[in-house]
Amino acid sequence: MRYFLSILVVAVLFLFLSVQIEASEEDDMQSIIIEVEGDVQEHKAYLEDYHPFVDVVATYDKLFNGLALQGEPDKLEKMESLEFIKGIHAVQTYETNASTVESLSDEQSDAVIPSDLNNTNYTGKGVKVGVVDTGIDYEHPDLAGNFQGGYDLVDLDDDPMETMPDQGIPTLHGTHVAGIIAANGDLQGVAPDADIYSYRALGPGGAGTSIQVIAAMEQAVEDGMDVMNLSLGNDVNGPDYPTSVAVNRAADLGVSVVLANGNAGPDNWTVGSPATAANALSVGASSPPQQIPYLYEPSADKRVPLVPMAGAPTWKLEKDYPIVNGPEQASGKIALMHRDDIPLYEKAKEAEDNGAIAVVIANNTDGMFQGMVENEEGPITIPVVAISKKDGAWLSEQIQADQLYLETAYQEVDSSIAEFSSRGPVTVNWNIKPDLVAPGTNILSTVPDGYQLLQGTSMAAPHVAGAVALVKEAKPDWSNEQIFGALKTTANRMEMDGEAPSAPIMQGMGEIRPKQAIETDTIISDPMLAFGKVSTSKETETIEIEIENTTNQEQTYSFDIPKKEKGLTWNLPQTFTLDKKETKTIPIEVSINATQLNEGVHQGWLTLSENDEDYHLPYLFVNQTADNPKAMGFEFALKPFSEDTFLYRLYVTEPAKRVTVDLYDPDTLVHERTLVEIEEPQTGMNEGELDKSEIGDPGNFLALITVQLEDGKYESHQIPLYIE
């Protein structure tokens, strides 16, 4: 029996589709991407000489070493024996129910329109933007004029169309992203005259491997993209994950790379690769002023935040209703359900068929999630929302103890950071992420056959990619550093409840303002001050920033000296002058007495002033230790073309003595067996192989991942695993 642990390595960051995925029957021809050691062209020649029945479709040597191959499965299987091959990445197709699309209607009049961000006279004309995503419906009337080509890294051909229903789980994400950047029809994007190229790295259902994403990026670099948008990622918070490394290499080659920060908020440390890349713009999501519904239980004074699901009506309940566990007794009540392998639509539909007033689905992992319950043939007609795992457990306990009634209340909020938007900082190097935020909720854009409202950092990132195109058109001589610096320098720092500013790890520099970036008198090229981790009792750290005067006049700057704080002393140049067009390097020094400060993350803001203009520079350092995850991103799957060898990968963020992955029965919590044990793991990616005889019986498990740190302390977390 072949076992398979279903973990998607790369997932689209706007919605998580809860679907059952099944591999389709093998076609006569199969596509794979292989990683190799040594000279790629030499390996290409070898394969052409000694394996003539395998076609070398493409070679990659800029962002990683590899080749794309096509051939019959039995011919490709022989690749495994070649010594120069490091890894084989098979491309699979999947089948499930189709998603729906919506037409532009009066009901969407309150939507956020991408073109609203562009208050400039520029349109992105002449700028080439590559969209690394699920493909693009290039026949859409709002995109057909701007679409210029691309490549399909899933099927390895020149047709980067979205996945259609007859090909598996249909997709729409890349088309929505492309429309935000450069739609030019009934709907206008941020940069409506930019040239759009599509690089399909994510296949049916919006899933793909890291190598497909990296290969897509390499093709985009080869094709001369000016800007690259990646609204995708994973849950590995590390700066040296392969996709993050590839992003930095693309940036070094002159491409402006824009990334979605992730949808795993509001917890800290939730940014995932490739948004952890230091040399790209990682983008969080902001929300416009709105009325946000939440559930309230008065006797416990308990508030339960809600995240609406796409494809269901808006939550507008006007009185209190009882809530029950499951759909069976839900007539006239709110049905509480829990996320698992059953599609979200099926859960919601069952509750609706049983007469439920509304459906609440609790997450099965920490944090919130974005879900969709769309179905064209049988649309859901009652509100469906997501809540956190913690709130779901609390509600279940209260229901079991007594009948529970919940009322709907509404919170009036100003423009703010979206609840789902992932937070930093990055582990290992402790960088601040995101860099910027942009509109990411209620965004109207193109999808196959029409238009649709979606939300997520996937929608925020293309707003910034479009803004980069505007700046590139306006300032063709500016470097990437100047463009990124101008966008960061002029961003609008956002506040919480109109008072204190939101934390740097929530917003970076703040909300993007393209017009101000183009017209700025000052560019701070590296304004986000990450001082790293303090490991001794007293340390002095210095960061040098570059400040450019873009005007033809002398400008004088001064730092506001921060209020005295125990354990923290700043040494800042109070006043300095820049001549016209001058760039100057300015040192920022801080002395930290670790014994006088609490352990953990410390962050705040410095203010630089020039005349009436204030520039807010976020800073961050970690004192001794922090509550960051110590291990993450566990992957486990059968090795391609193998019947009895399994591969595992695990990312470790700090020096450790040992890591173990133990499997538990999810119902009884009885320990079943130890699946993986790594002695002296390295900081970063740890990989290995297991024989089928070591895996044990298949089934559903809770995997407890435990890290023994160098100081002897233990850190652990659990994830659900299904071995089929």
Mean pLDDT for the chain overall = 88
Q: Interior CA angle at 15 toward 11 and 18, to 5°?
A: 80
First vs last Cα of the chain: how many Å apart? 9
Pick the last residue of a domain from 91, 116, 140.
91
For 353-375, what is each residue's pLDDT tens digit? 999 999 999 999 887 887 889 88
Task: Give the model's confidence band at 484: pLDDT under 50 very low, under 70 low, under 90 confident, else very high.
Answer: very high
- Tell me, yes or no, whether 326 lies in a domain: yes
Question: What's the number of domains the chain is made of?
Answer: 5
Find out whether 197 and 220 touch, Cβ atoms under 8 Å: yes
* CA distance linking residue 489 with residue 516, whole number of Å: 9
Render pLDDT for 62-78 as a digit per residue (tens, 0 to 9).
Answer: 888 888 888 888 888 77
CB 15 within 8 A of CB 370: yes
Question: Do residue 251 and residue 382 come from a single domain?
Answer: no
Tens of pLDDT along 656-710?
A: 999 999 998 888 788 999 999 999 999 988 988 888 888 888 888 988 999 999 8
Confidence of residue 721 (pLDDT cuts 50, 70, 90): confident
Inter-residue contact 698 to 624 (CB < 8 Å): no
Highest mean pLDDT among 99-103, 558-562, 605-609: 605-609
Whole-number Å distance between alpha carbons of 585 and 574: 14
- Residues 391 and 429 placed together within one structural domain of the fold: no
pLDDT at 22 over 70: no
* Range picked from 334-343, 400-409, 541-550 for highest mean pLDDT: 541-550
- pLDDT over 50 (residue 539): yes
**pLDDT higher than 80, residue 5:** no
pLDDT for residue 17 is more than 50: no
Is 7 part of any domain?
Answer: no
CA torsion through residues 481, 484, 487, 490, sign: negative
Cα 237 to Cα 631: distance, rounded to the nearest angstrom: 9
My answer on whether 126 and 274 are in the same domain is yes
Q: 3-class DSSP state for residue 460?
A: helix
| Residue whose pair of structure tokens reads 């160098």 in the numeric block | 710
**Does 187 or 108 have the greater pLDDT score?**
187
Q: Give a yes or no: residue 274 inside a domain.
A: yes
Instruction: Over range 332-361, report the average pLDDT.
Output: 94
Is residue 594 in some structural domain?
yes
Identify whether residues 244 and 112 lie together within a single domain: yes
Residue 297: CATH number of its domain: 3.50.30.30
Q: How far is the C-alpha of 136 from the C-alpha of 195, rounded, in Å?
A: 13
Residue 614 has pLDDT above 90, yes or no: yes
* Bigger pLDDT: 434 vs 643: 434
pLDDT at 88: 72
Q: Report whether 336 contacts 325 (CB < 8 A).
A: yes
- The CATH number of the domain where 638 resides is what? 2.60.40.730
| Residue 502 belongs to a domain | no
Last residue of a domain, one of 398, 413, 428: 413
CB under 8 Å to 694, separation ≥6 — which residues?
Answer: none
Yes or no: say if 690 and 645 are a contact pair by the CB < 8 Å rule. Answer: yes
The one-letter amino acid code at 30 reads: Q
Determine the pLDDT at residue 20.
28
Greater confidence, 25 or 714? 714
**Quick check: 443 and 283 in contact, CB under 8 A?**
no
Q: Is residue 32 part of a domain?
A: yes
d(CA 156, CA 171): 18
482/335 same-domain check: no
Q: Are residues 408 and 390 in the same domain?
A: yes
Within-domain flag for 340: yes
Residue 14 has pLDDT above 50, yes or no: no
H helix or E strand, kind and range, residue 637: strand 631-638
Residues 408 and 433 in one domain: no
pLDDT per position as a tens digit, 559-597: 998 888 899 999 999 899 999 999 999 999 999 999 999
112 and 227 in a single domain? The answer is yes
Q: Tell me if 36 sits within 8 A of 86, measured CB to CB.
A: yes
Least confident span in 371-375, 571-575, 639-643, 648-652: 639-643
Quick check: 352 and 344 in contact, CB under 8 A?
no
CA distances from 225 to 74, 126, 149, 324 (A): 37, 11, 11, 53
Over 90: is that where the pLDDT of 79 sits? no
Structural domain contains residue 115: yes
One domain, residues 270 and 295: no
Q: Where a domain ends, among 443, 466, 489?
A: 489
Higher per-residue pLDDT: 32 or 379: 379
Alpha carbons 5 and 7: distance in angstroms, whole number: 6
Per-residue confidence (pLDDT) for residue 632, from 0 to 100: 87
Provide, rounded to the nearest whole percent, the portion of the chain with pLDDT above 70.
93
Lowest-confidence segment of 19-23, 111-115, 525-529, 545-549 by average pLDDT: 19-23
426 in the same domain as 398: no
pLDDT 10s digits, 190-209: 999 999 999 999 998 888 88
Cα distance between residue 551 and residue 67, in whole Å? 48
Write down the pTM of the prediction.
0.80
Range 666-688 burial, b when 16+ CB lie within 10 A, else e: beeeeeeeebbebeebeeebbee
Please name the amino acid found at residue 490: T
Choice among 12-16, 249-253, 307-311, 617-621 with the minimum mean pLDDT: 12-16
Task: Give 378-428 as a DSSP string.
Answer: S---S-EEEE-HHHHHHHHHHHHHS-EEEEEEEEEE-SEE-TTS-----TT
The full DSSP string for 510-533 is: -B--HHHHHH-SEEESS--EEEEE
Q: Give the three-class secondary structure for 296.
A: strand
Closest by CA to 632, choosing from 679, 669, 667, 683, is: 683
Residue 650, beta-bridge partner list:
686
- SS3 (DSSP) at 314: coil
Query: Cβ(164)–Cβ(174) under 8 Å?
Result: no
Kindly tell me if the per-residue pLDDT of 7 is higher than 50.
no
Residue 94 has pLDDT above 50, yes or no: no
pLDDT of residue 121: 96
* Confidence tier at 10 by pLDDT (50, 70, 90): very low
CATH number at residue 439: 3.40.50.200
Is the predicted pLDDT of residue 25 greater than 70, yes or no? no
Which residues form the domain of 465? 106-288+416-489
Is 83 in the same domain as 29?
yes
- CB-count exposure of residue 320 (10 Å: 0-12, 13-18, 19+): middle
Residues 638 and 596 both lie in one domain? no
* 425-440: average pLDDT: 96
